[in-house]
A and B are shown apart, each in its own frame.
Chain A
Amino acid sequence: DSGVTQTPKHLITATGQRVTLRCSPRSGDLSVYWYQQSLDQGLQFLIQYYNGEERAKGNILERFSAQQFPDLHSELNLSSLELGDSALYFCASSPGSYNEQFFGPGTRLTVL
């Protein structure tokens, strides 16, 4: 158990819908990261927050947005969902901005 929690574990929804994925980092970690794992794209970095501020951005679609709240938990919002958004979404956390990242169990999103 890495100490990073993600909810929900599974999410099934329809095209065009909007969902919110939630992540609680390990106690004391200030950085939160989001990654997408799909069969065709592999593991891809989406975005990093450090202590509430956006720190780095990867190949995140405009339909996707994230934020980190004052209590350091983070949410990833996915809107106008498409079939291709079906994937495993991981959250990770680290103490600072450049440490090893510890991953949560992931949220499996299925878009029908």
Chain B
Amino acid sequence: AQKVTQAQTEISVVEKEDVTLDCVYETRDTTYYLFWYKQPPSGELVFLIRRNSFDEQNEISGRYSWNFQKSTSSFNFTITASQVVDSAVYFCALSALNNAGNMLTFGGGTRLMVKP
């Protein structure tokens, strides 16, 4: 069975602060993918990143960066210099590469509020 835990249910920061969203996962599969999705107040789910289990390189995209550590089964997401538009619920998800298809197992989400 797979499990994704986002221990932080809600985080509040002031604009321009850096913030890190934690994600811890559990899986018995050796090959898997990790994802982050953003759900703004409008409700849609926006894909942010996909990482495979063999690639532990950190990734940076503008103000966003991701830290994947297999040793601790974590895939954390950092927003640098946060902005009000970053306010949203962020979901971490896991998908195993097996014959059972491509189901995403989501964490409970972290609600990020960025105050001006």
Contact = CB atoms under 8 A, between A and B. Distances in A.
Interface of A: 2, 31, 33, 35, 42-45, 48, 50, 55-56, 58, 88, 90, 92, 94, 97-106, 108
Contacts, number: 61
A31 B102 contact: yes
B85 to A, nearest CB: 17
B33 to A, nearest CB: 8
Contact of B106 (A31, A42, A50): A42
Nearest 4 A/B pairs, CB to CB: A56-B101, A103-B45, A43-B106, A45-B103
Contacts of A103: 37, 44-47
A100 B47 contact: yes
A58 B100 CA distance: 10
B50 interface: yes
23 contacts: A33-B104, A42-B108, A42-B109, A43-B109, A44-B106, A48-B101, A48-B103, A55-B101, A56-B103, A90-B45, A94-B102, A97-B101, A98-B33, A98-B97, A99-B102, A100-B33, A100-B35, A100-B50, A101-B47, A101-B104, A103-B46, A103-B47, A106-B45
B116 interface: no
Interface in B5-63: 33, 35, 37, 43-47, 50
Nearest to A42: B108
Contacts of B50: 100
A90 to B, nearest CB: 6
Most chain-B Cβ atoms within 10 A of its Cβ — which of A44, A98, A106, A108?
A98
A106 B43 contact: yes
B47 A88 contact: no
Nearest to B95: A98
Interface in B72-116: 91, 95, 97, 100-106, 108-109
Contacts of B105: 45
B103 A88 contact: no
A70 B91 CA distance: 32
Contacts of B104: 33, 35, 43, 45, 101
